[in-house]
Amino acid sequence: MVPMEPTYTRPGEPTDGPLTFEELQLATRNRGMPLEALRYDVTPVGLHYLLTHFDIPFIASADWRLTISGVENPAELSYEDIRAMPAATLPVTMECAGNGRAKLHPRPISNPWINEAIGTAEWTGTSLWPILERAGLPDSAVELIFTGADPGIQGNVEQFYERSLTLAEARRPEVMLVYEMNGRPLEPQHGFPVRLIVPGWYGMTSVKWLVSIRTATEPFHGYQMTSYRYRAASGEVGEPVQRMRPRALMIPPGIPDYFSRHRLVQAGRVVLVGRAWSGEGSIDRVEVGVDGSGADATLGPSVGDFAWRPWSFEWDAQPGEHTLSCRATDSAGNTQPTEAPWNAGGFGNNMAQQVPVTVR
Amino acid sequence: MVPMEPTYTRPGEPTDGPLTFEELQLATRNRGMPLEALRYDVTPVGLHYLLTHFDIPFIASADWRLTISGVENPAELSYEDIRAMPAATLPVTMECAGNGRAKLHPRPISNPWINEAIGTAEWTGTSLWPILERAGLPDSAVELIFTGADPGIQGNVEQFYERSLTLAEARRPEVMLVYEMNGRPLEPQHGFPVRLIVPGWYGMTSVKWLVSIRTATEPFHGYQMTSYRYRAASGEVGEPVQRMRPRALMIPPGIPDYFSRHRLVQAGRVVLVGRAWSGEGSIDRVEVGVDGSGADATLGPSVGDFAWRPWSFEWDAQPGEHTLSCRATDSAGNTQPTEAPWNAGGFGNNMAQQVPVTVR
């Protein structure tokens, strides 16, 4: 067997085996945020995490239309139509539902994120709900189905990327159709010309390259709905993956070794800094652990109602080997676990980060 | 053994074993260009490949200085000083010297690129040589040493990232100190405030976060010079890794399977498109192979003297399984090999790309 050729024949089945060529292909295509970028309130566009299920489609804004159907007044909106609507800018922390997957045992086979599938951007666009009100939702509608322009195959199902939201979720004013990221038109990989943003939820719901919104009279069971579920085993119905679980991450202190990424830190006063967020509430507390013994970090002001909160912690670093960790608690009472919460899809693993360091 | 924990204890030693956790850490930090982005003359900033040896440093432009030393008139230049100099904009194709490493057997252990460590940007800045002429090079100088602001450890050597150029190379007018990428200030990961660009060479020479240029009276043997060499075995002296070997890449046609990235293509006329480049000459020819049988692609105009050249090829796709390939030849007579050119560091593997597809 040659390890760097396609070898894995059981997608969907977790493994304790070595990393597969297929996972490597996904890791080299998709993009994590190097954790030193936690220093930014707003992540530079080129450092924001990125997961693309299929290929990045390339759509000229002049050719783009958003079809709204299954409504009283079906519509076809242009890029200019969307840009002419009342605009707002909102900082939003977004995380991939698969963040942390590579740390699970056995390891569900998909994009092997360690903990870097995050980013915060300032999105500019217009609220979704007024558009739907003008379109006129029929009384029979219970959900909205959002379709992207990106076709592909997943789980043997040929599809365009599609996700749904209940009307109750879609009604929230912060659910937006956006056309700018950090003050500039979206780069193609982030959904140009227009994408959906659902603050507080994992990223799979914020459909990129949005081309269609249609109503559904019953809950939608498309592939991207049935795959994003917390299941103990692959046959189960499970629970839907929705809001981001709380997570804190720190900037690994000191300097790195290129190969191992192990950190070397100078003894003395070290200010550990990081960010924490939750889609289930505001961040109330971050505990920082040094060799298992924890204390509260100092919290700064959140970057926004739907964006991460900075924290800092002064550490008197003593020479030797140490393990640093951090752990967030949100206003809904959720705390990060210290053991990975396993599920068959590898979603929502918000186990507390651990950073081994050598102090000299 | 738990596969997704640090396990590899012999960095630098090639392996036919499975992908290591350390390689995964590098793959999730660093960023390849999804090959569908070959459609762009100029790669969007957030899609350009990125390799960071250590951590991305964060430098305010007001705090930044470039020290020029070992010269007759030592200088300390500010960001404004550099921006006030005569400016030029140049499209440059840049590739990581390690591109293709993951396809080698045995596999040298470092960032496991498959073939996506590429990108083309329009860099704006000022030529290096006039700055050095004003500084006054001593007769004894044979090289220039360029130091970045990024510290770290590699091969057990604590260092700031440092590379040298001979005076003959540094004199070329296209060797620039740049402060804009695609018309905007550099994003931090691409070297803000100012970086070096050495068109035609692999990316390791284009030192990011440049803070010092000093002369050397003999060839520089810093870590990043001695590591980037073509060696049959790790103890050898070898030859320096310098200019980009020729390479053609195609946009994988059709639609992808999420997990395997395998392509499904509709039967009939398919226009295959891609790009080709070489640091050793201009691109004279691209051959496209279908199941081993090749023919010449049509070449378009190069994006610039130091940037890739587009190509296209009409294919009458017949139902069944096929393997597509492409292969560039440059004006210096170099052609891509069909077998991987092995070396201990895993550099310059420009083996022709192969894309398996299913036509229906």
Angle at A170 between CA A168 and CA A175, to 5 degrees: 135
Handedness of CA A23, A31, B273, B353 (dihedral sign): negative
Helix, strand or coil for residue B23? Answer: helix
How big is the A-B interface in CB pairs under 8 Å? 198
* A179 — pLDDT class (breaks 50, 70, 90): very high
Whose structure tokens read 């029979």? Answer: A140
Assigned domain for B141 exists:
yes
Strand partners of residue B326? B288, B353
Same domain, A161 and A98: yes
**8-state DSSP, B36:** G
Interface contact B256-A102, CB threshold 8 A: no
pLDDT above 50 (res A1): no
Q: Is the pLDDT reported for residue B87 higher than 50? A: yes
Q: What is the DSSP letter of A351?
A: P
Mapping DSSP to helix (H, G, I), strand (E, B) and coil, where does residue A86 land?
coil
The dihedral through the CA atoms of B40, B300, B307, B333 has a sign that is positive
CA angle (A77 as vertex; A76, A83 as ends), nearest 5: 180
Q: What is the pLDDT of residue A2?
A: 44
For A64-97, b/e burial (b = at least 16 CB within 10 A) is bebebebbeeebebbbeebbeeeeeebbbbbbbb
- Which residues, 6 or more positions from A98, have their beta carbon under 8 angstroms from its beta carbon? A51, A110, A111, A113, A117, A345, A346, A347
The tokens of A356 are what? 């081994």
Q: Which residues contact B259 (CB under 8 A, 6 or more apart)?
A: A11, A22, A26, A109, A110, A154
For residue A25, the surrounding DSSP H or E stretch is helix A21-29
Nearest-CB residue to B258 (from A107, A154, A258): A154
B203, B289: one domain: no
Mean pLDDT, rounded, for A256-261: 96
**CA distances in angstroms from B197 to B3, B59, B178, B208, B357, listed in the order given:** 39, 19, 7, 9, 37
Residue A21: list chain B partners with CB under 8 A: 19
Nearest to A29 by CA among A57, A4, A2, A53: A53
User: For A90-118, what is each residue's pLDDT tens digit?
Assistant: 999 999 999 999 999 999 999 999 999 99
pLDDT category of residue B6 using cuts at 50, 70 and 90? low
Categorize the per-residue pLDDT at B257 as very low, low, confident or very high, splitting at 50, 70 and 90: very high
Percent over 90 (pLDDT), chain B: 94
Q: Is the peptide bond before B6 cis (omega within 30 degrees of 0)?
A: no
CB atoms within 10 A of CB A174: 17
Quick one: A48 and A79 in the same domain? yes
Whether B257 sits inside 8 A of A113 (CB atoms) is: no
Contact between B306 and B174 under an 8 Å Cβ cutoff? The reply is yes
A263 HSE (CA, 13 A, CB side): 22
Q: Closest CB to B256: pick one of A24, A105, A152.
A: A152
Kindly list the residues from chain B whose CB atom is less than 8 angstroms away from the CB atom of residue A17: 3, 18
Please tell me the distance from the alpha carbon of residue A92 to that of residue A103, in angstroms, as a whole number: 26
Q: Kindly report, residue by residue over A277-319, the tens digit of the pLDDT.
A: 999 999 999 999 999 889 999 999 999 999 999 999 999 999 9
Please tell me the distance from the alpha carbon of residue B318 to that of residue B359, in angstroms, as a whole number.
6
Which residues are CB-neighbours of B111 under 8 A, at least 6 positions away? B23, B26, B27, B30, B51, B96, B98, B101, B117
Residues of B in contact with A36 (CB under 8 A): 55-56, 58
- State residue B8's pLDDT score: 61
Rounded average pLDDT over B10-22: 84
Model ipTM?
0.95
Residue A249 belongs to what H/E stretch? strand A247-250
Do B53 and A2 make contact, defined as CB atoms within 8 angstroms? Answer: no
Tell me if A104 is assigned to some domain: yes
Within-domain flag for A185 = yes
User: End of a domain among B240, B267, B282?
Assistant: B240
B233/B254 same-domain check: no
The Cβ of residue A291 has, within 10 Å, a number of other Cβ atoms equal to 12
**Set of chain B residues whose Cβ sits within 8 Å of the Cβ of A11:** 259-260
Residue B69's DSSP bridge partners are B214
Of A18, A34, A154, the CB nearest to B56: A34
Contact B24 A114 (CB under 8 A): yes
Lowest mean pLDDT among A201-210, A256-265, B9-18, B179-188: B9-18
- What is the domain-level CATH number for residue B296? 2.60.40.650
Shortest CA gap B189–chain A (Å): 8
Last residue of a domain, one of A240, A262, A286: A240
| Contacts A153 to B, Cβ<8 Å | 255-258, 264
B202 and B68 co-located in one domain: yes
Quote the CA–CA distance of B228 and B206 in Å, as a whole number.
Answer: 13
Residues of chain B by 3-state class (helix, strand, coil), percent to 5: 15, 40, 50
pLDDT at A6: 65
Residue A271, SS3 per DSSP: strand
User: Could you give the CA distance from residue B42 to residue B30 in angstroms, rounded to a whole number?
Assistant: 20
Task: Pick the residue from chain B with its C-alpha nearest to A99.
Answer: B28
Q: Are residues A227 and A302 in the same domain?
A: no
Strand partners, B270: B315
Q: Within its chain, how far is the Cα of B16 from the centroid?
A: 25
Judge if B276 and B227 occupy the same domain. Answer: no
Q: If pLDDT is split at 50, 70 and 90, which confidence band does A4 have?
A: low
Q: Do B188 and A44 touch (CB under 8 A)?
A: yes
Query: In this complex, do A28 and B259 lie within 8 Å of one another by their Cβ atoms?
Result: no
Inside any domain, residue B316: yes
Q: How far is CA A224 from CA A70, A118, A194, in A?
A: 21, 20, 20
Q: Find the residue in B nearest to A56 (Cα).
A: B36
| Shared-domain flag, residues A152 and A288 | no
Give the chain B residue whose CA is nearest to the CA of A48: B46
Q: Closest chain B residue to A160 measured between Cα atoms?
A: B255
The model's confidence at residue B13, banded by pLDDT at 50, 70 and 90, is confident
The answer to whether residue B3 is domain-embedded is: no
The residue among B9, B16, B28 with the most chain A CBs within 10 A of its CB, best to mutate, is B28
A266 and A232 in a common domain: no
Question: What residues in B contact A29, CB-CB < 8 Å?
Answer: 32, 34, 116, 261
Which among A5, A99, A259 is the top mutation candidate for probing chain B, defined by the most B β-carbons within 10 Å of its own β-carbon?
A259
CB-based burial label for A264 (10 Å; 0-12, 13-18, 19+)? middle
Nearest to B46 among A27, A45, A110 (CB): A45
User: What mean pLDDT comes out for the span B331-359?
Assistant: 97
In a domain? residue A10: no
Report the residue from B24, B45, B107 with minimal CB separation from A102.
Answer: B24
Residue whose C-alpha is closest to residue B328's, from B294, B290, B291, B292: B294
| pLDDT of B123 strictly over 80 | yes
Residue in this structure with the two tokens 């083309």, named with its chain if needed: B120
Give the tokens for residue B211: 């803070």
DSSP A19: B
> Could you tell me if A108 and A344 are in contact, meaning their C-beta atoms sit under 8 angstroms apart?
yes
pLDDT band at B2 (very low <50, low <70, confident <90, very high): very low
pLDDT for residue B4 is more than 60: no
Q: Token digits for B91?
A: 């499209």
Length of chain B: 360
Which chain B residues are within 8 Å of A53, Cβ to Cβ? Answer: 258
Q: Determine whether the interchain pair B29/A261 forms a contact, defined as Cβ–Cβ distance below 8 Å.
A: yes
Q: Which residues of B270-306 are buried (b: 16+ CB within 10 A; e: fewer)?
A: bebbbbbbbbeeebbbbbbbbeeebeebebeebbbeb
Residues A75 and A145 in one domain: yes
The backbone torsions φ and ψ at residue A158, rounded to the nearest 5 degrees and listed phi first, read: -80, 135
Of B23, B37, B55, the CB nearest to A256: B55
d(CA B188, CA B208): 9
Q: Are B141 and B116 in contact (CB under 8 A)?
A: no
Q: How far is A319 from chain B (nearest CA, A)?
A: 18
Q: Is the dihedral of CA A274, A280, A284, A286 positive or negative?
A: negative
Contacts of residue A37 in chain B, CB cutoff 8 Å?
Answer: 56, 188-189
Q: Does the residue B215 lie in any domain?
A: yes
Q: What domain range is A266 assigned to? A: 247-359
For residue A349, give how far its alpha carbon lies from the nearest alpha carbon of chain B (Å). Answer: 14
CB contact under 8 A, A154 and B48: no
Minimum mean pLDDT among A3-7, A202-206, B111-115, B352-356: which range? A3-7
pTM of the shown model: 0.96
The CATH code of the domain that includes A199 is 3.90.420.10
State residue B234's pLDDT score: 84
The residue to which tokens 């060529």 are assigned: A21
Most B CBs within 10 A among A1, A2, A4, hence the mutation to make, goes to A4
Judge whether A213 lies within some domain. Answer: yes
Of B189, B194, B166, residue with least CA distance to B178: B194
B309 and B189, same structural domain? no
Residues with Cβ within 8 Å of residue A293, at least 6 apart in sequence: none
- Which pLDDT band, with edges at 50, 70 and 90, does B304 fall under? very high
Nearest CA in chain A to B102: A4
For A29, the closest of B17, B20, B34 (CB atoms) is: B34
* Buried residues in B148-183 as b, exposed as e (16+ CB within 10 A): bbbbbbbeeeebbbbbbbeeebbeeebbbbbbbbbe
Number of domains making up chain B? 2
* Angle ∠(B130,B208,B336) on CA atoms, nearest 5: 95
pLDDT of residue A127: 98
Task: Report residue B224 as tokens.
Answer: 């990043």
**Partner residue opposite B152 with nearest CB, options A31, A54, A256:** A256
pLDDT of residue A5: 63
Of A212, A240, A268, which residue constitutes the final position of a domain? A240
Rounded Cα gap, residues A320 and B153, in angstroms = 18
Residue B265 has a pLDDT of: 98
**CA-CA-CA-CA torsion sign (B304, B307, B313, B319):** negative
Whether the per-residue pLDDT at B7 is higher than 70: the answer is no
**CB atoms A255 and B54 under 8 Å:** yes
Residues B267 and B351 in one domain: yes
Decide: A77 and A132 in contact? Cβ < 8 Å. Answer: no
Res A11: pLDDT: 64
